[in-house]
Amino acid sequence: MDFNLPGEDDPRRIEVRAWFGDNPKPTYRQIAERGFTAPHWPRPWGLDADPELQYIIDTEIERTGMTPPSKINGIATNQCGQALLHFGTDAQRQRFIPPGLACEEIWCMLFSEPSGGSDLGAIRTSARRDGDNYIIKGHKIWTSIADHSDIGVLIARTDPTAPKHKGLSQFLIDMKAPGVTVRPIADLTGEENEYNEVFLDEVRVPADRLLGREGDGWRIVMSQLQTERMMMTQPAAVFGAGPTARELMSGLIQTGRIKDPLIRDEAARLYIEGELCRLLSLRSLSRRMQGQPAGVEGNLGKMIAAPHGQRICDLAKRSQGPGAMVRNPNVLPLPDKSFGRFQDWDYAYWFSPAGTLGVGTQEVLKNVVSERILGLPRELDPTADFPFNQVAVLRAAS
């Protein structure tokens, strides 16, 4: 890495801080209209900001104590919203981007399916063209925040005769449309505030909600997932959010639990891991500052950060001793800052197993790292070039 982070006296920081001083309680609409929600996006959506200015704005939003827009509506302000810049029409951008950046319409990603496992290419949800509409039929699962989303970014199969990665297309659908049924799923936290299964029963979607061209779905999804994984290369408890090993260490010191030599040794290792994750994130920032592409490093970062987050949550919980066996939101003290829904260690602990499953399982990420970074031979998939509607026949024959 070769860069210096902008200091407190940087004129750009002073200007951004002055704006928040003049607008002490801004709405998310005001932040979006000022270009602060996605400053690296082109105008009029952002500020055409370079990585340094983006870093300044992000840290100044965090400094105010308000929840960053990316933590409220990350699908719209990050990976899927960006896809509209590259693949969307002008009409789609005008319709969806402003309320998305303002956090007025919440987005979700309708990707995973019950029968597909970790193979995103094995999608069975169909999209059949019918005049000026597509008819969507299928079943999605593990869809985060679908129960309070307004817009769904859906991937479906428009050509069942094409190989599995070539017959997919992506749509922007109304989650309140007739035929869309959302059923929340209770997770290990005991709550139903994250995951859902979504049933799509003959849902009519206007043809102008197709993102890109028919058959572009796989290419668009890969760009979205890469962007999302880069965001998750953070030294935090779950999916790049929540407390870090620094907060863990601070809490252990405050409670005196750090005096236990076994806890102290484990905490020291996790602290070092956290700093390595932080450096990986900063290296990504460095590459962007130097005008270099992000590449596929997001896969490596997410692969390392997800189990790290699970380990810090585990130590925070175990450090309680027998008290850890009961539900206790006050596992360790946390500083007065916004960690979103991971505001306590107990909730983060019970939610953390999702970290190595969502946005690519560890096994999938290891394959990507081995094949695309290390250059190892690709894993054989005999169904990759076979017409998708004949895959079941092929499997039965074998």
Structure tokens at 357: 């499953």
User: CATH number of the domain at 107-214, please?
Assistant: 2.40.110.10
Alpha helices, DSSP H, located in 2-148: 11-22, 28-33, 51-64, 69-72, 74-77, 79-87, 90-101
In this prediction, residue 268 carries a pLDDT of: 97
- Integer Cα distance of 268 and 241 in angstroms: 21
Distance linking the first and last C-alpha atoms of the chain: 51
Structure tokens at 383: 């169904």
In this prediction, residue 287 carries a pLDDT of: 60
In this prediction, residue 261 carries a pLDDT of: 96
- 256: buried, middle or exposed (CB in 10 Å: 19+, 13-18, 0-12)? exposed
Q: Which residues of 352-382 are buried (b: 16+ CB within 10 A; e: fewer)?
A: bebbbebbbeeebbebbbeeeeeeeeeeeee
- Integer Cα distance of 218 and 122 in angstroms: 11
Q: In DSSP terms, which residues pair with 109 in a beta bridge?
A: 153
In this prediction, residue 278 carries a pLDDT of: 84
Identity of residue 257? R
Structure tokens at 45: 């959506």
In this prediction, residue 122 carries a pLDDT of: 86
Task: Please give the share of the chain, as a percent, with pLDDT higher than 70.
Answer: 90
Q: Where are the domains of the chain?
A: 11-101, 107-214, 232-358
In this prediction, residue 295 carries a pLDDT of: 57
Residue 88's alpha-carbon distances to 11, 41, 287, in angstroms, are 35, 14, 27
Q: Give residue for tokens 């990507």.
A: 368
Residues 257, 323 contacting (CB under 8 angstroms): no
Which among 309, 305, 303, 307 has a CA at the least distance from the CA of 373? 303
- Integer Cα distance of 206 and 389 in angstroms: 25
Which among 22, 183, 4, 210 has a CA at the least distance from the CA of 127? 210
- Integer Cα distance of 295 and 124 in angstroms: 30
CATH 1.10.540.10 at 11-101, yes or no: yes
Per-residue model confidence as pLDDT tens digits over 74-126: 899 987 888 899 899 999 999 999 999 999 999 999 999 998 777 788 899 99
pLDDT in tens for each of the 398 residues of the chain?
A: 555 677 888 899 999 999 999 999 999 999 999 999 999 899 999 999 888 898 899 899 988 988 889 889 989 998 788 889 989 999 999 999 999 999 999 999 999 999 877 778 889 999 999 999 999 999 999 998 999 999 999 999 999 999 989 999 999 999 999 999 999 998 887 777 789 999 999 999 999 999 999 999 999 988 787 666 666 667 788 877 789 999 999 999 999 999 999 999 999 999 999 998 888 777 766 665 555 555 566 677 788 888 999 999 999 999 998 888 888 777 888 887 667 677 788 888 998 888 888 777 888 888 888 888 888 888 877 777 888 888 766 665 66
- What are the DSSP E strand ranges found in 158-298? 168-174, 180-184, 196-206, 210-211, 236-238, 241-244
Q: Domain 232-358: what homologous superfamily? A: Butyryl-CoA Dehydrogenase, subunit A, domain 3 (1.20.140.10)
> Looking at the chain, how many residues does it have?
398
In this prediction, residue 217 carries a pLDDT of: 94
Question: Residue 110, SS3?
Answer: strand
Q: What DSSP assignment string belongs to 315-374?
A: HHHHTTGGGGGS--S-SS---SS--GGG-SHHHHHHHGGGGGTTTS-HHHHHHHIIIIIS
In this prediction, residue 362 carries a pLDDT of: 83
In this prediction, residue 280 carries a pLDDT of: 78
- Integer Cα distance of 97 and 58 in angstroms: 19
The pTM of this model reads 0.84
CATH fold match for the domains 11-101 and 107-214: no
